[in-house]
Amino acid sequence: MSANPTPPASNSAVDPVELARALIRCPSVTPAEGGALALLEARLAALGFACHRLKFSAPGTPDVENLYARLGSGKPNFCFAGHTDVVPVGDTKGWTRDPFGADIVDGMLYGRGAADMKGAVAAFVAAASRFIAARGPSFGGSISLLITGDEEGPSINGTRKVLEWLKARGETLEACLVGEPTNPTQLGEAVKIGRRGNFYATLTALGTQGHTAYPHFADNAAHRIVRMLAAMLAEPLDQGSEHFEPSTLQVATIDVGNSAGNIVPGRASARLNIRFNDRHTPQSLEAWLRRHCDAVGGKYELAVELSGPVFLTPPGKLSALIASAVERHTGLKPTLGTAGGTSDARFIKDYCPVAEFGLVGQTMHKVDERVPVADLERLAAIYRTVLEGFFAGS
């Protein structure tokens, strides 16, 4: 890890579209840095940020580079958090534009990461640069950026470890805005104040292998697991709660490992994924699964894994500040919701109030990922207004 000496702040504002295009041209598919963090470090250092490149490792996972940059040393410290790593592009023949070309066509910026979430990262930097140009480097606090290269991957050597590094240094965050794409169809629809939990289970039904012509000498594990899954799917987990939609269970895989049609399988497994709300805990979910399996009867094995906990930052000053900025620049009053998948906000919520607002997510992870150029400018304006509101009393 390294820190840049803090140079005088630049008065030149950053163009979010130009920076987004430059970031998209960096092929930073998880866990590759691809030049994206180096690019950000250079831009932020020119604005006066002290930059730290942080590489973390863990057994069985790839090394990951991260960036933490901070302007100022006082409190409060307002943090923008996000990631520059992107998912693979898949078959490039399906793309109408180069996934790393950052082409602009009919007002749309194309490229992997345009929506998720290099566009928002560029808007972070643009907003900070414009705020600093207007207020100067002494504004009564600090602005920081926590940028990981491990959000789309295992999420082991990224945000969580940067936060631990900050704690060990005695640095605190007073508020954090994560730039994940939060809007379903148009900019301004939704601010995320929490996320459902992410829970995996592997269910294995055990029986006795045999000949399909003599089923009375066998015990069909496939039949057992089908009945167990049917029982689970027939009973809703819940009806939702005040801030969360109903929990859902999805069967992701079913496998008996049987290459012949005349063998009764003695073993059958299924991979399950539950996205759960605040009516559940990992322990209650495991108990719910076992209750349905026990009701069917027979031998089985159940292995469970919590990928991400459910969390909620109750509506308050941070969400109100973001919602007000969104309404000012889009004319829309955003909902304060919790829908969608998980994000690195699940780690940040243990350190400070956190909320999420970013671009429209319709094309994230898809072929021809793209965002309106106009939305990048509006997002930078929203983020700048958030900074102005946060430091208004300074």
Condensed to tens digits (0 to 9), the pLDDT of residues 150-201 reads 999 999 999 999 999 999 999 999 999 999 999 999 999 999 999 999 999 9
Pick the CATH number of 2-195+310-390 from 3.40.190.10, 3.30.1360.120, 3.40.50.1360, 3.40.630.10: 3.40.630.10
Q: Which residue has the tokens 């932020």?
A: 44
Give residue 308's pLDDT band: very low, low, confident or very high (50, 70, 90).
confident
- Whether 351 and 168 have beta carbons less than 8 Å apart is answered as no
Residues of the chain with CATH 3.30.70.360: 197-308
| pLDDT above 50: residue 3 | no
- Over residues 337-358, the pLDDT tens digits come to 998 888 999 999 999 999 999 9
User: Cα(113)–Cα(120) distance, rounded to whole angstroms?
Assistant: 10
- Whether 340 and 248 have beta carbons less than 8 Å apart is answered as no
User: Cα(189)–Cα(322) distance, rounded to whole angstroms?
Assistant: 12
Scored b (16 or more CB within 10 A) or e, 91-102 reads eeeebebebbeb
Pick the CATH number of 197-308 from 3.30.70.20, 3.30.70.360, 2.40.30.40, 3.40.640.10: 3.30.70.360
Catalytic residue among 33, 41, 65, 85: 85
Angle, CA of 136, 174 and 120, to the nearest 5°: 70
103 is catalytic: no
- Over residues 198-222, the pLDDT tens digits come to 999 999 999 999 999 999 999 999 9
| pLDDT above 90: residue 11 | no
Q: Which residue has the tokens 């410290």?
A: 77
344 is catalytic: no
Give residue 393's pLDDT band: very low, low, confident or very high (50, 70, 90).
confident
| pLDDT above 60: residue 127 | yes
- Over residues 140-152, the pLDDT tens digits come to 999 999 999 999 9
User: Cα(221)–Cα(22) distance, rounded to whole angstroms?
Assistant: 54
- Over residues 245-295, the pLDDT tens digits come to 999 999 999 999 988 999 999 999 999 999 999 999 999 999 999 999 999
DSSP string, 177-243: EE----BSSSTTSEEE-EE-EEEEEEEEEE-B-EETT-GGG-B-HHHHHHHHHHHHHHS-S----SS
Residues of the chain with CATH 3.40.630.10: 2-195+310-390
Q: What is the mean pLDDT of the chain?
A: 94
Catalytic residue among 33, 41, 151, 356: 151
Nearest in space to 49 (alpha carbons), one of 59, 40, 62, 37: 40
What is residue 56's predicted lDDT score, i.e. its pLDDT?
97
- Over residues 362-379, the pLDDT tens digits come to 999 999 999 999 999 999
Give the whole-number percent of the chain exceeding pLDDT 70: 97
What is residue 7's predicted lDDT score, i.e. its pLDDT?
38
